[in-house]
Homo-oligomer: A and B are copies of this chain.
Amino acid sequence: MKKYLLFPLFLGICFTLSAQDMSESDKDAFFIKDIFSTALTEGQGNDWLMYLTKEIGGRLSGSPGAAAAVEYTRQMLDTLGMDRVWLQPCEVPHWVRGEKEVCRMVSERMGSVELACLALGNSIGTGPGGVSGEVVPAMSLDEAEELGKAGKLKGKIVFYNRPFDQTRISTFAAYGGAVDQRVYGPTMAAKYGAIGAVVRSMTNKTDDVPHTGSTVYRDGHECPAVAISTKAADLLTEALKHEKVKVFFKTDSKNLENKISYNVIGEIKGSEKPDEIILVSGHLDSWDVGTGAHDDGAGCVHAMDVIYILKKLNYKPKRTIRCVLYMNEENGGAGAYAYRDSSDLKKEFHMAAIESDRGGFTPRGFTVEGDDSIFEEKFKLLIKWMPLLEAYDLSIKPGGSGADVSKLKGQKGLLFGFLPDSQRYFDYHHTAVDAPDVVNKRELQLGAGAITALVYLLDKYGLEY
């Protein structure tokens, strides 16, 4: 009689079991163990990520890097033996940083001090002369609006300086509590006559690395804007305690004409229920500084590795498994809209859509959301097989999915966000240091294993109630 070794969990406890004794859940446990072992020993994600980051580099929408990433990942998907691989066009903005930014604070007491800075994505440039003005600090949009209404921002440079709340265990929660300053701070400043905005970088860390990211102008209120490092922000804060301070900064950024770019898509057709789609995804574009290793090279190679691992294990899905590498998550979401519109038009049904866009760190589980009309019932269906993931210290909890897949909410499937450990993510997010050396190979591989395990369970058990 053939003997199986039940997969050794956390404590290394093993025992044996004959084949006919095996329950469905034991079979699942074995297959999930195979998934993780394949991810850890044969996964291709790290190699793909090295190419994306070291050979291609930054991949901002409209850039040659983005185009190279589209072609490279299309070729890689082509090698995986999927039923179909294609490019889906979308029209993307084409913002360019131009010449390296300069930012300097000038005070009588301290003289002129350089501040490490990056122009914000989508922001207009200052022109070659730069902008110079007195600094008005504001800890929130509300405070800026009050100052604006009192006429105190006219001709000034607004300094948004509210730091991350370090007591939030999830750094994404801390980011969520601060990022409104970057997104809507500059337009608020411009609305009340400010000539520029300086934003404290979105990070937990105190260092000299500035973090870029999108800003959004509303109602035509535009002014140039930079993020400065947290150390620079602390220095500026200190200087403002003693005297009036001016800031000079110069940015060369501009929005060029829109470009055509692509989502890269591949699929394995389901053998029994091909109309129920399970989507795995990351986004191909990244900021221009750094090489988008965690954001979101990691997510792309996670999604690609799901396909690789399932193929390697010779798994024939009942449902259609589709891998989507979205374009333009960072500054517009054009890829996600194009995908959603096309999918809705074809009356497709995404039973589940999984996004990996929180980095390539050790997996902790998934957050999941869905349309109110279906969420509670469908969530209950996950509970029966959740212990299979909990054996790997992975949980599934209600929460947001991601900027790309959340656009599919109208199709009334479940939308998952892969949730890795969050502590280091904002050390690198949108910076020059989001580079291949800060990704740990095993942590990345475990992420691919976790997502593949979820796909397997969703495919096997479906979401019918």
Contacts and interface: CB of A to CB of B under 8 A. Distances in A.
Contact of A423 (B8, B171, B173, B442): B442
Contacts of A170: 10, 12
A443 interface: yes
Interface stretch (A16-24, A34-42, A133-141, A303-311): A34-42
Kindly name the residue among A8, A167, A171, A176 whose own CB sees the greatest number of chain B CB atoms within 10 A.
Answer: A167
Nearest to A172: B12
A424 B424 CA distance: 13
Given A40-B166, A166-B40, A169-B392, A427 B398 contact: no
Interface string A410-447: 00000000000101100100000000000011110010
B10 A399 contact: yes
Interface in A165-216: 166-171, 173, 176, 204-205
Contacts of A168: 8
A362 interface: yes
Copies per complex of this chain: 2
Interface in A151-170: 166-170
B392 A393 contact: no
B12 A173 contact: yes
A367 B12 CA distance: 13
Contacts of A398: 11
A176 B415 CA distance: 39
A88 interface: no
19 contacts: A8-B168, A10-B170, A10-B397, A10-B399, A11-B397, A11-B399, A33-B167, A36-B167, A36-B169, A37-B167, A41-B167, A169-B392, A169-B446, A171-B442, A362-B362, A362-B423, A393-B395, A423-B440, A423-B442
A205 B40 CA distance: 12
Nearest to A176: B12
Contact of A167 (B40, B167, B176, B362): B40
A228 to B, nearest CB: 21
A217 B298 CA distance: 45
A416 to B, nearest CB: 15
Closest 3 CB pairs of A and B: A37-B167, A423-B442, A40-B166
A125 B36 CA distance: 42
A319 interface: no
Interface residues of A, number: 37
Contacts of A446: 169, 423
Nearest to A426: B442
A41 B427 contact: no
A167 to B, nearest CB: 4
Contacts of A302: none
A33 B168 CA distance: 10
Contacts of A40: 166-167
A269 interface: no
A362 B11 contact: no
Interface in A376-408: 392-393, 395, 397-399
Contacts of A442: 166, 171, 204, 423-424
A393 B399 CA distance: 15
Nearest to A422: B362
